[in-house]
Chains A and B, each alone.
Chain A
Amino acid sequence: MRTETALRVDLPRVIEPRVRPRDRAAIGRRIALYVALIVMALPFAVPTIWMIASSFKPLSEIFASPPTIFTDSPTLAGYREAFDFQPFARQYFNSVYIAVLVTMITMFVSSLAGYAFARIKFPGQNLLFLVVLIGLLVPSEVTIVPLFQMFKNLGMINTHWPLILVTSLAAPCVLATFIMRQFFIALPGELEEAARLDGLGQVGIWWQIFLPLAKPALSAVAILTFLASWNLYLEPTVYITSPDLFTLPQALTRYTDAYGGEMWNTQLAAATMTVAPVLAVFLIAQKQFVEGLAHSGLKG
């Protein structure tokens, strides 16, 4: 499956030898390449830059004509309003704690299951693995209707339980289990033999030998899961109704005034606060992010 290759994907190494542009045609081609890349980069870079820049604009300047990118009179009004209008700090905390919890549970569950499917022999193993893979086949948009009824019967609507339980045990976790299995299956068999001679049981082999070796796979899993939980939108929209319990993506869409008009600068300030930390971590740990998210192709 895709992840077999994807695990080996890193920011690809350049294999072509460095060609020094010697003649004019080559220099011309190089300039054309830069121009093409810069033009193509606009839709990728401008929205983020515009979002951050506009979050510091006074409301009157948001739709100024001609449009401005950077304002002459920066203000924090949008940021203040983001906290005044909704319990934004609380919502921020909700998103952080749910994502951290989901990531930790997923790392634990997927490394256990991935290890067992890859390294332990037990009857029915292949069948059970196929059953688990069904979790990759079924989109969460299909199960949301019955899951809503199930959680309603359990009295868990308008709590964080559905977000934590479903995310850390269903779709993203199945992908994580798959990634861990593919990683463990590639490790040499001598590892267990040596550990057995040292008198370790399966739990000891998993914890002391295999987990420390699995750091690259675990970090891919952690990034994938954290972002999956951080960006979740359909589920909180369906399960949660009180603003105190909202997560960030849900909160971002609720900055509307009494007439249903969007409070743009407030919304952009809140969006900036949601996006900036993730972008900053991405710039620091690019390689891990690209590796981790290349797997997300499997789920689209």
Chain B
Amino acid sequence: MTTLTTRSGARGASVDAPLGAPARRKRFWTLSRRDALTGYLFVAPQLLGVLVFVIFPVGLAIYYSLNDWNVFTGDLDFVGGKNYAQLLDDPQLPKVLGATAIFSIGVVVLNIALGLGLAVMLNRRFRGVTFFRTLFFSPVVVSVVAWTLVWGFLLQDNGGINGVLEQVGISGPNWLQSGDTAMIAVVVTQVVRSVGVNMVLFLSALQGVPSELHEAARIDGASNRKIFTSITLPLISPTLLLTAIITIVGALQAFAQIAVLTKGGPELSTTVLVYYVFQQAFSFNDIGYGSTLALMLLTFVMILTVLQWQLRRKWVFYED
């Protein structure tokens, strides 16, 4: 409103001014200024979204982590570092971090090995290759919850997997009721659902390896295995490492799989950090400690992501 009045005021004044005088004044809305304004307006919704729904909540989480939530009065009591001290005293936390480590490492090892194996097998031409690529990718588009429910169904004591095992004379374990097998079950469920993405990334990395290198090695009499370990593997290793980091970050965030398949059990055997955060904050209403744990998760993810960004910058020449 104010600009409007000043402008009309200026126009009113210019009536008495000698002709041509306004033309000497530099226009405020130059092309670059107009562009800049458009730029700010274009990025505004996205920027506001990140500020309100990501950055502000992280600040709030830090604030909560310094307070205790009084469930009865709904007040926050400032407690300083108490929640951080609790990280050291919590007898459950070592088990949770152990489960998180086993789950993440299990997922990343299996995912990379299987993804690379599939990519190598499917990086050639034969009848049905497209069918197999589609098949191995298909679980990626299936809803996590639906996928996990079906696996849960197959993994019941009297479910399909044990039913098939029984036919060949093996008495299968009650998969979801003992710690070790439950962990195997959540790892396999997660890997089979998501390995398709890594398979596709490895396929495109494999096709980036110049075929002249293979031919030259073959002429020199190198075996297939030697070609793979000495030429292919070193050339795609940046992709492997970056994908491994991204897969770990994904595994650190696997909530639905755990919530649907095992609910963190039996006991704490599959309670990974992200599920523990959810339990503390929403089942036990311990907002302060839940936020502290969430910030711990954030720290892990940030370290890995920044590492990935640094490595990517270093290796960017491999990708062009």
In residues 1-54 of chain B, which contact A (Cβ within 8 Å)? 32, 34-36, 38-40, 42-43, 45-54
CB-CB < 8 A to A59: which residues of B?
none
The 8 Å CB contact of B134, one of A145, A275, A283, is A283
Q: What are 28 residue pairs bridging A and B, where the CB atoms are less than 8 Å apart in the complex?
A: A2-B312, A11-B130, A15-B211, A43-B188, A44-B138, A48-B138, A50-B160, A65-B166, A120-B35, A134-B50, A139-B274, A141-B255, A141-B277, A141-B278, A145-B64, A145-B281, A145-B282, A145-B287, A146-B60, A149-B64, A166-B53, A233-B144, A233-B260, A262-B153, A274-B146, A278-B141, A278-B143, A282-B138
Given known A50-B154, A145-B287, contact A12–B188 (CB-CB < 8 A): no
Whether B35 lies near A33 (C-beta < 8 A) is no
Max chain A C-beta neighbours (<10 A), residue from B53, B144, B282, B306: B53
CA distance A259 to B296 in the complex (A): 37
Question: In the complex, given contacts A51-B150, A120-B42, A142-B61, what are 4 additional A-B residue pairs having Cβ atoms less than 8 angstroms apart?
Answer: A46-B160, A136-B305, A141-B253, A294-B197
CB-CB < 8 A to B139: which residues of A?
44, 47-48
Which segment of A73-81, A107-115, A213-221 sits at the interface?
A: A107-115
CB-CB < 8 A to B312: which residues of A?
1-2
CA distance A249 to B121 in the complex (A): 34
Given known A63-B158, A143-B58, A146-B61, contact A16–B125 (CB-CB < 8 A): yes
Number of interface residues of A (CB under 8 A): 115
The dominant DSSP class at the A interface is helix
Distance to closest chain B CB from A129 (angstroms): 8
Contact of A234 with B by CB under 8 A: yes
CA distance A264 to B251 in the complex (A): 28
CB-CB < 8 A to A12: which residues of B?
123, 200, 203-204, 206-207
Number of interface residues of B (CB under 8 A): 109
Whether B150 lies near A48 (C-beta < 8 A) is yes
CA distance A46 to B56 in the complex (A): 44
Contact of B99 with A by CB under 8 A: no
Given known A5-B204, A271-B149, contact A297–B246 (CB-CB < 8 A): yes
* Shortest Cβ distance from B35 into A: residue: A120
Distance to closest chain B CB from A85 (angstroms): 15
Whether B251 lies near A145 (C-beta < 8 A) is no
Identify the A interface with B (CB < 8 A). 1-2, 4-6, 8-9, 11-19, 30, 33-34, 36-37, 40-41, 43-48, 50-51, 54, 63-67, 109-110, 112-113, 115-117, 120-123, 125, 128, 131-132, 134-150, 165-166, 168-171, 173-174, 177, 201-203, 206, 227, 230-231, 233-234, 237-238, 248-250, 252-253, 262, 264, 267-268, 271, 274-275, 278-279, 282-283, 286, 289-290, 293-294, 296-300
The 8 Å CB contact of B38, one of A14, A144, A203, is A203
Contact of B294 with A by CB under 8 A: yes
* Shortest Cβ distance from A30 into B: residue: B126
CB-CB < 8 A to A8: which residues of B?
204
* Shortest Cβ distance from B31 into A: residue: A196
CA distance A64 to B163 in the complex (A): 8
* Shortest Cβ distance from A167 into B: residue: B53
Identify the B interface with A (CB < 8 A). 32, 34-36, 38-40, 42-43, 45-58, 60-61, 64, 118, 121-126, 128-130, 132-147, 149-151, 153-154, 156, 158-160, 163-164, 166-167, 188, 192, 194, 197-198, 200-201, 203-204, 206-207, 211, 242-243, 246-247, 249-253, 255-256, 259-260, 274, 277-278, 281-282, 287, 290-291, 294-295, 297-298, 301-302, 305-306, 309, 312, 319
* Shortest Cβ distance from B252 into A: residue: A139
Whether A149 lies near B211 (C-beta < 8 A) is no
Given known A11-B130, A141-B294, A293-B141, contact A264–B153 (CB-CB < 8 A): yes
